[in-house]
A and B are shown apart, each in its own frame.
Chain A
Amino acid sequence: QSVLTQPPSVSAAPGQKVTISCSGSSSNIGNNYVSWYQQLPGTAPKLLIYENNLRPSGIPDRFSGSKSGTSATLGITGLQTGDEADYYCGSWDSSLSTWVFGGGTKLTVL
């Protein structure tokens, strides 16, 4: 049972938009930044979004992040088959003094 809650899977057609939710509490998302990671099959995770909504250099603007209260959302527009991956949210938990990840969401581009 992960501290942060994500849907196990989402799917959409190529070219469409999808959102992935990440729900937490005041001890993590509510009072700390959220980051998002993409893990393509068989590879190490890669940073997609940091500090709620900032993209590292090299990440296309098709990827976006937002936060409201104790929840965060990753948005992906113009879906491509190459976006099929597992996506994880994460945040520091001030009560646990540990970093926490969501359980991960598998994106299928139909």
Chain B
Amino acid sequence: QVQLVESGGGVVQPGRSLRLSCAASGFTFSSFGMHWVRQAPGKGLEWVAVIWYDGSNKYYVDSVKGRFTISRDNSKNTLFLQMNSLRAEDTAVYYCARDGRGYSYRANWFDPWGQGTLVTVSS
């Protein structure tokens, strides 16, 4: 079955870095765009970034531009989110999600989602 498993979350001090991973299985990873979505404690969903299936383009929410980098390794079926210069407001559960349509240069919908990994930015 299609599965996404995030890892790499934890407690980090403001200004430090963290790299999240999302291991994909059960589908042809290299055929699908991938997203990161986060949810601060008690808050709603916030989309963070997308990378096209072939890695040719990436888009970010303004609040993370210049600090976060989304990437993928299609040979290892893994999605990454490199987070630098972390701030308290980056504290959230981070979900990876597969785009709904293969071989697409659009963000279509999210299905499925991983279980999430918690990132806490605190001194």
Which residues of A pack against B, CB within 8 Å? 2, 33, 35, 37, 39, 44-47, 50-51, 56, 86, 88, 90, 92, 96-104
A51 with B109, Cβ < 8 A, contacts A44-B114, A99-B50 known: yes
A45 with B113, Cβ < 8 A, contacts A97-B59, A98-B59 known: yes
Most buried by B among A44, A90, A101, A103: A44
Flag if B50 contacts A50 (CB, 8 Å): no
Flag if B109 contacts A44 (CB, 8 Å): no
A47 with B47, Cβ < 8 A, contacts A92-B106, A97-B59 known: no
Q: Which of B44, B60, B106, B107 contacts A104 (CB 8 A)?
A: B44
Please report which residues of chain B, range 20-39, place their CB below 8 angstroms from some CB of chain A when the two chains form the complex.
35, 37
Q: How far does the alpha carbon of A59 sit from the alpha carbon of B10 in the complex, in Å?
A: 34
Please report which residues of chain B, range 79-120, place their CB below 8 angstroms from some CB of chain A when the two chains form the complex.
95, 100, 106-116
**B61 at interface by CB-CB < 8 Å:** yes
Interface of A, helix, strand, loop or mixed by DSSP: strand
Which 5 residue pairs are nearest across A and B when measured between Cβ atoms?
A: A35-B109, A99-B47, A47-B111, A50-B109, A104-B44
Give min CB distance, A90 to chain B, whole Å.
Answer: 7
Flag if B44 contacts A101 (CB, 8 Å): yes
Q: Which of B47, B111, B113 contacts A101 (CB 8 A)?
A: B47
Shortest Cβ distance from B46 into A: residue: A101
Flag if A47 contacts B44 (CB, 8 Å): no
Which residues of B pack against A, CB within 8 Å? 35, 37, 44-47, 50, 59-62, 95, 100, 106-116
A-B contacts, 27 listed (Cβ < 8 Å) = A2-B44, A35-B100, A35-B109, A44-B114, A45-B37, A45-B110, A45-B113, A46-B112, A47-B110, A50-B100, A50-B108, A50-B111, A51-B108, A56-B111, A86-B44, A90-B45, A90-B110, A92-B106, A92-B107, A92-B108, A97-B59, A98-B59, A98-B60, A98-B61, A99-B47, A101-B45, A101-B46
